Amino acid sequence: MTFSEFQATRQRIGAREAEAEGYQVIEPQTEEVLMYEGGLVIEPTRNWPVKPDGAYHLSLERDSYLSDDLAQLEHRLYDWGCRAGNLSAAGTEQKIWTGQSGGWKPLLETLEALERDLEEMPPEKRNTAHFARLELANTIARAREILEALANDEEHNP
């Protein structure tokens, strides 16, 4: 599912209907929520008793985000939904990389080279690069998963 396809699944539904589907509304004054594919939700804040710093609220695990920029929150929700397994982005990733960057194998090779560069970084800079290296390792693992899925798909659907 692409991000645009994800956005197209947005539906305004009543807060009570969202609760019936398993979502716990943050503020009792919330009348409606924006529900997306996978049961993912963003809450408008217009009826909240205390005006927060944003027109929309997004809660992901232990983090809370307020913003007037709905698209920004939707991107965050989409990315989280793909990582959490609520959404399938494999088709999206295949469309993005196949043909546009030479496919997944050159991308994986580039990521692995970057990881080697980070490992060779001087000790005084390693603390700064530690989190970047962890995120890169996650990206490499995901790219490998996608390559395997594509290979399996090609075996079953030549």
Residues facing 33 on adjacent strands: 13
Residue 38: what pLDDT? 85
Q: Characterise 67 by phi-psi region: left (phi > 0), alpha (psi -120 to 50), beta (else).
A: beta
Q: How far is CA 139 from the centre of its chain?
A: 13
Report, as an integer, the average pLDDT of 57-67: 88
Count of Cβ atoms closer than 10 Å to residue 146 Cβ: 18
Which distant-in-sequence residues (6+ apart) come within 8 Å of 3 by Cβ? 74, 75, 78, 92
Residue 13: what pLDDT? 92
Which distant-in-sequence residues (6+ apart) come within 8 Å of 44 by Cβ? 30, 32, 33, 34, 55, 56, 57
4-61 pLDDT, tens per residue? Answer: 888 999 999 998 888 888 888 877 888 899 999 888 999 998 878 777 777 898 988 8
Residue 4: what pLDDT? 86
Q: Are 3 and 81 in contact (CB under 8 A)?
A: no
Does the pLDDT of residue 128 top 60, yes or no?
A: no
73-111 pLDDT, tens per residue? Answer: 999 998 888 877 777 654 444 444 444 445 566 666 766
pLDDT bracket for residue 71 (50, 70, 90): very high
Residue 35: phi and psi, rounded to 5, are -110, 140
pTM more than 0.75: no
What tokens appear for 154 in the block?
């090609």
